[in-house]
Amino acid sequence: MAVHLLFLLLLTRLTGVHSVTTVSKVSVKAGASVIIPCLYDKQYINHVKGLCKGYYWDFCSYVVQTNRRNSGQFSISDDKSRRIFTVTFKDLTAEDTDYWCAVEVDRGSDVREYFQLSVTKGTPSLYVDHQTITGFIGGKITISCHYRNSGETKWCRLGRSCVTSPSGSIDETTVTINASVPDVFNVTMSGLSAQSSGWYLCVSGDLQMPVHVTVDKQPTTNAPPTTTQRNKSVSVDLKRFIIPLGLLIFMVMVTLFILFMLKRHKQSKDESSATATAKEEVTYSVVKKKRKTPAQAQEDVTYSDVKHKRKTPAQAHEEVTYSNVKHKRKTPDERSDAKSDVDVTYSSVVIVEQQTKGLSKR
């Protein structure tokens, strides 16, 4: 079988049918997915491309083509600007092994290239963490190629040159290979440019794993705001703060005023009620005066008029007695009046009893 395959490849090159380039052998875990790129010449840009399944070309059958809808397990896309069509495999099994990347040619033999999938139940012999990676112009990227088989390790661009450790360049992009970690060689591409985008291959012995590199422009960072913009922003923020604060202060002042008026109204009501309930108490006293002896007849007689005056609200908590005293000298007739054995003077005392202590103001 190997001799027959070698013969087909040799025949293809001798007849000049070598216009498709792809991988040779890829290790894949069962049930996983993988993308296989197929590079073609520019004269086939508008031709139909497809994937043919089978070990022998004459007996293989197309499982997917660009001129018909994709099937469930296989999908195909054509990047005519880069002249590469890719086929995506899903849910691989042990029977998914032999395939051909092919381009249909009218009135002639289709151009094609054979590749093999090695589907394993365990860890693949050569794999990468991600088949697609993105970098930026002027920057760098690192790809980790994990391998378990023996053979030379290198980094290649599909259809072009390769770099072996420790360093080299591909299309003016610097490539460095670090194999210090067992079973892993890390590939670093630095000084990336737009031309660095494309399909590359991790290579270990007879196995290859395709990796697609996309190089984009460096994202622009937003410039810091100018002084005017900052001042405007601060002014807007202050307005948003001051307006609610002003409304809050106004509501507080209105509430305090209402409470003050209610308190004052209650005090006035209490004062009016206390005034209406005030009572008077009147006390009468009788004063008897003995007749004077002849020796005492010449003395002056003092009359006392006692009055009790109603207090003002400010004086409600005190009792004040007003006394009006008049001094009168008796006449000789009054001294000799024999009937005036006893002089009686009536004094009226009025006491105001204040029952409410709250009449401090009026």
The yes-or-no verdict on residue 189 having pLDDT over 60 is yes
- Distance between alpha carbon 314 and the CA centroid of its chain, in Å? 67
Tell me how far CA of residue 213 lies from CA of 130, 198, 336, in angstroms: 11, 5, 150
Q: Are 196 and 186 in contact (CB under 8 A)?
A: no
The pLDDT confidence band at residue 288, using thresholds 50, 70 and 90, is low
Q: Is the pLDDT of residue 97 over 90?
A: yes
What single-letter DSSP state applies at residue 347? E
Whether the model clears a pTM of 0.75, i.e. scores above it, the answer is no
pLDDT at position 1 over 80: no
pLDDT, one tens digit per residue, over 213-240 is 999 998 876 655 555 555 555 555 666 7
Contact indicator for 172, 223 with CB cutoff of 8 Å: no
More confident residue, 320 or 75: 75
> How confident is the model over 104-148, as pLDDT tens digits?
998 888 999 999 999 999 999 999 999 999 999 999 999 999 999
Using alpha carbons, select from 2, 3, 20, 23 the residue that is nearest to residue 12.
20
**Degrees, nearest 5: CA angle 55-56-58:** 145
pLDDT at residue 106 in the model: 87
**With b meaning 16 or more CB within 10 Å and e meaning fewer, what string describes 93-120?**
eeebbbbbbbbbbeeeebbbbbbbbebe
- Domains of the chain are 1-123 (2.60.40.10), 125-219 (2.60.40.10), 279-353 (no CATH)
Instruction: Categorize the per-residue pLDDT at 199 as very low, low, confident or very high, splitting at 50, 70 and 90.
Output: very high
More confident residue, 64 or 15: 64
